[in-house]
Every structure is written in structure tokens, then in C-alpha cells.
Structure 1
Amino acid sequence: MEDLKALYADSDLALMKLAEASLEKGADRLIEVRNFALNSGFKKIGIAYCAAVAKEAEVVDHFLSKDFEVVRIDCKTGKFPKSEMLDDGSLVGISCNPMGQAAYLAECGAQMNIVMGLCVGHDMVFGMNSHVPTTTLLVKDRAHKHNPLEGINSKKAL
């Protein structure tokens, strides 16, 4: 057991204790995220979201702004064409910009970030470049209205 615990830095264990203290029987994830941020003493929360879930990000912003200063930014920040970002002339549209999202939230002084609906891979780039505690509130799943459990459960019979 001590070998397992040795894997954790004191700061990791502190985060895990805060997470444990933030659990609330019957509470949804948004409540627990708020509880965690309150228990952590954070004052400013960042939200990095997919443009497709802008309305939902606004609801989360409104809910959290009762207790925190909230800063949010959508994935299309910078309006960089996909063809230029990915060096592929066949691509059309505006590229997502997870590095831009992470940089903006850092510049704004977010102490904790929430991810909402970023694409697979883009969420990873954001997470690796968000140098504050980061949690996912909403996972993108185009086929199942952002509920990946439906996709998982549909594969059980396979």
C-alpha cells in the first residue's frame, strides 16, 4: 500500500481530499464541481467549451457566477481556418483552438478550468496545457446527445 501512496505528491493527495469533501449525496456533477471549487478557495473559474454547447456553457456560467468570477471561451477563438492550422487544403471551416483556450484562461487568471464538449484530442491538448486543476463537465458524443454511456451500453451485446 505504501508503494501505491508513494506515487502521489502531497498536492495530489490534497486535491483528492478536497474532492472527497466535495461529495454530496444525490448531488449532480455541477454541484460537486462547485463544492470542490468552494472547498479549494478558488475565486476564478474558467470554462473552455465547444461552440456547439454555448447555451449550456452560459447556464453553467450563470450557476457558478453566484459564487465565483467565471471566464469562458469557445473553441473557435482566433477564427483560424482548419486548412491553415492543419496544413491540409482539403479541410474547410474554422479550426478549434484548444491551445488558445488554455492560454486565454491562464491570461485571465483562472484558478480551475472546466471542459465542456471539446473534441477528442482537443480536450487532451487543452488539458496538457491548462496548468491549473481541470475537470470535464460535458463530454462530446455526437451520436448520443453528449451521453457516451449510451454508446458504451450499446456495445455490451457485441
Structure 2
Amino acid sequence: MNKYYCALCTDHYCRSGEVEKTTLNCPCNDDDIESIKELYQEEENFNLAYHSALTEAEGYGNKTRLEEIMDFAKKCGFSRLGIAFCLGLSKEANTLCKILRHNSFEVVSVICKNGSIPKEFLNISQEQKLRPNTYEPMCNPIGQAKLLNKAETELNIILGLCVGHDSLFIKYSEAPVTVFAVKDRVLAHNPLGALYLCDSYYKNRLFGNTNGSNGDKK
């Protein structure tokens, strides 16, 4: 099994094109790269990749992600968009729908609690619920994907689905998927904050208190 360590690389010769300087375990030297390149010649893949590159270049450092999603969809010829959203971001989903519709998109939206399937269906006990001894429907990302498939959406947008639920949605979505926002209730839905604070406020939580200190109190 091949192992790659791109996150530890500081040279990034793949960016400069100096692939002759790369190490043996660099993906640039993998035998499958040529066959991977062939996949981009498939019509759907080419369409997505080509217009992704155009969207990146035109919006880089200038347009918001929301604007880029709309630009990308228009370039690809997608007019019917799907939104898979979390109940906790209902207000945001409503606003997103209004903006997309104002920009001439047809929008289909499906909430995470669709079907109102009780958590007992997953063998979740009362003690394991967020609110024990109450009715709690499970999140149903497979349902979100299947219903959007039924609506024949052309591009699906994830808005705040939980970790794992997003994985199931992506697995079952027939249309291409993009992410508008991910859920992180602690960091105001900005999960990168945990990385930016990993040497200070979140040091012990992420790396453990190995030296008996309380971390940096900045």
C-alpha cells in the first residue's frame, strides 16, 4: 500500500512543476497519474474541472464562496440546485434559498430531520439522546440525498450537516456536491479556528496536557 505525506511537505514541487526534484513517495511519481488524467477527459468530469478552474481564477481573493458557487453553477449550466441543510441552520437556509432564487436558480431544499424517524430506529437509548425522555428524530442524510435525487437536482449544496451525516449525504447524492458551510457550534461554524488556536487555547484539548502545564494563556 502506497503512503503519501503531502501535508508534511514544505517544497511543493507539484506547484512549481519541478517534479524531477520530488521524492519517490510523491504522488507526482505515482504510476496511476496518467490513468487519473484520462478520467478528466470524461465529459462530466471535464465540465466540472474546467469550470472549477475558471471560477477559481475569476473569483480568487475577490468573491465570496456563495458568489463562487453561483458562478460555478452558471458556468456548468446547472439551473436546479439542491440544498441539504441542518435544522439548526434553518434561518441561514431560508436566506440562501432567497439569494439563489433571486439569481435565477430553481432551488429544492430538504431538512436533516426529513421523515421524522425516531432515534430509537438506530438503537439510540434515552441516555444517549441530546434531550433524554423526549421525542428526538434522527438526522436522515440518506433521505436528503434520495429526495434531491428524486427532484433531479443538478448540483447539491451542503449547509451545516453534522460530521458523518455529510459523509452519508455525499455517498448517496447522484448530483455533484459542494459545501457552503460545515457545522461547528463551538467555533461559530468556523472549524479552522481549532487549527489556528491549537498552540494556545485549544492546545491541551487537541494535543493533551503532556507537560503538566495549562497551555498558553494568551
Question: TM-score scaled to structure 1, two decimals?
Answer: 0.92
After superposition, give the CA deviation of every residue in 1:30-53 in whole Å (9 maximum; x if it has no partner): 000000000000110000000000
SS of equivalent residue, structure 2 residue 36? coil
Correspondence 1:143 to 2:186: yes
1:55 pairs, out of 72, 91, 97, with: 91
Amino acid in the other structure paired with 2:116: K
1:55, CA displacement in angstroms?
0.7
2:115 pairs, out of 66, 70, 78, with: 78
Unaligned runs of 5+ in 1: none
Distance, in Å, in 2 between the alignment partners of 1:20 and 1:59 is 27
Correspondence 1:20 to 2:56: no
1:20, CA displacement in angstroms?
1.3
CA RMSD of superposed structures (Å) = 1.7
Distance, in Å, in 1 between the alignment partners of 2:34 and 2:64 is 29
Aligned residues: 157
Kept in 1: contact 2:142–2:169 (CA 8 A): yes
Larger gyration radius, structure 1 or structure 2: 2
Distance, in Å, in 2 between the alignment partners of 1:51 and 1:120 is 14
SS of equivalent residue, structure 2 residue 115? coil
After superposition, give the CA deviation of every residue in 1:73-101 in whole Å (9 maximum; x if it has no partner): 110000111112x1233344110000110
Residues 28-43 of structure 1 mapped to structure 2, 5 A cutoff: 28-43=64-79
Residues 119-134 of structure 1 mapped to structure 2, 5 A cutoff: 119-134=162-177
Distance, in Å, in 1 between the alignment partners of 2:163 and 2:180 is 14
Partner of 1:65: 101
Distance, in Å, in 2 between the alignment partners of 1:6 and 1:79 is 44
Kept in 1: contact 2:47–2:76 (CA 8 A): no
% of aligned pairs identical? 35
Kept in 1: contact 2:149–2:173 (CA 8 A): yes
Question: TM-score scaled to structure 2, two decimals?
Answer: 0.68
- The answer to which structure, 1 or 2, has the higher relative contact order (CA under 8 A, 6+ apart) is 1
